[in-house]
Amino acid sequence: MPVVNLPTADRGLAPYRMTEPRAWKSNGAAPRFNRVALAAAHIVADPLADVDPWLTAAIDWDATIDYRRHLWSLGLGVAEAMDTAQRGMGLDWPNALKLIRLSVEAARDVPGAVVYSGVGTDQLVPTASTTIDDVIRAYEEQIEAVEACGGRIVLMASRALVVAAKSPDDYAKVYGRILKQVREPLIIHWLGEMFDPALQGYWGMADHIAAMDVCIDIIADHASKVDGVKLSLLDKDKEIRMRRRLPQGVKTYTGDDFNYAELIHGDEQGFSHALLGIFDAIAPAASAALAAHARGDLDAYWKIFEPTVPLSRHLFKAPTRFYKTGIVFLAYRNGHQKHFVMVGGQESTRSLMHLVEAFKLADAAGVIRDPDLAASRMGDVLRIHGVG
């Protein structure tokens, strides 16, 4: 196995020997799961585009869609144009819509492929004069466009709604209007402020438990139009509390990248399905673990998933909104893209030492498919930073 000289906390270098790659079982057929499993997928930047990268999103569309095909081949669905795709952190609405169209079109060629697409209000720049009606119109514009291309909807949280809303009643008005008119049941995404500080106080309440009451009341009033709710608060107890209170038939999709293994497994009162950014980075392991769970092999489920949790907690550590850098770093290291460049220059949001630890944790989790390639690319990253 290759050996890489990695920097240490005392500014020295220490040899690190990589482990044997994990051979995930596959018989060529898509695995069967007993949970809905969606991976929030990243985008691949185009490093050769002559643009100002902080201002203009340049995307390698072919590589981006190829990665979706990789996820579908593992039996995972795709949650498109969401936070993991740098929505609101480099990916604007026009490019998000193009991404959704391309992904929905590509899915038609893959039997059983699932795509849910993020709908928000990010074309609306919130100001002090932004109104609730402005927020509704922005949501409606995106819903119309996504439904026109055949997409199913994840209704994302709105920064503009946080600015415009005066009370929880304003949230009920906006969500009620939208839920009454969508064609198919959608997934509501409650994205916590740890992922996006601009969403502090969502649902009109600073306290998460009080906010949960508002959200559940809205869902209960429109349960036939809600497939599920994705909870991204990184708090397993709050997620369990909420899923036990949801109306019958409304799913919980865990967005807890710290505790997903136990939340997906569940307890005697229920379980969570999955809509996770970490599934982008650990897709083969996630697929194998979920397949093991479906066939009742819980020993294999825990043996596969448990080593991935330290990796996920590292990638999603505070400031959590910068987790996308680690996701793309692992995609680069695993050969899914030719470079470590991100839209908006976001490759710079994590330190070299953070990436070094991600390298080691991913190796320990068995999610490195080609150790020689990974070691070579880690060496490239080190040299860019003046190491080696």
Instruction: Supply the pLDDT for residue 28.
Output: 58
Query: Is the pLDDT confidence value at 231 over 80?
Result: yes
Q: Are strands 13-17 and 3-7 parallel, antiparallel or unpaired?
A: antiparallel
Q: Tokens in use for 173?
A: 């008005």
Report the distance separating Cα 1 and Cα 19, nearest Å: 6
pTM equals 0.96
Query: Is the pLDDT confidence value at 29 over 90?
Result: no
pLDDT average, residue stretch 299-314: 98
At 24, the pLDDT band (50, 70, 90 cuts) reads: confident
Report the distance separating Cα 369 and Cα 5, nearest Å: 20
Report the distance separating Cα 326 and Cα 312, nearest Å: 9
Report residue 14 CA to chain centroid gap. 33
User: For the residues of 207-246, what is the DSSP string, one character each?
Assistant: SHHHHHHHHHHHHHHTGGGEEEEEEESS-HHHHHHHHTTS
3-state DSSP assignment of residue 190: strand
Q: Tokens in use for 227?
A: 């497939």
> Has domain 36-342 been given CATH number 1.10.150.120?
no
pLDDT > 90: percent of the chain = 96
Q: Dump pLDDT digits (tens) for 40-92.
A: 999 999 999 999 989 999 999 999 999 999 999 999 999 999 999 999 999 99
Report the distance separating Cα 72 and Cα 107, nearest Å: 8
Burial level of 388, CB count in 10 A (0-12/13-18/19+)? Answer: middle
* Spatial CB neighbours of 313, under 8 Å, sequence gap ≥ 6: 257, 258
pLDDT average, residue stretch 351-361: 98
At 143, the pLDDT band (50, 70, 90 cuts) reads: very high
Residue ranges per structural domain of the chain: 36-342
At 264, the pLDDT band (50, 70, 90 cuts) reads: very high
Burial level of 244, CB count in 10 A (0-12/13-18/19+)? Answer: exposed
Q: Dump pLDDT digits (tens) for 84-113.
A: 999 999 999 999 999 999 999 999 999 999
* Average pLDDT of the chain, as a whole number: 96
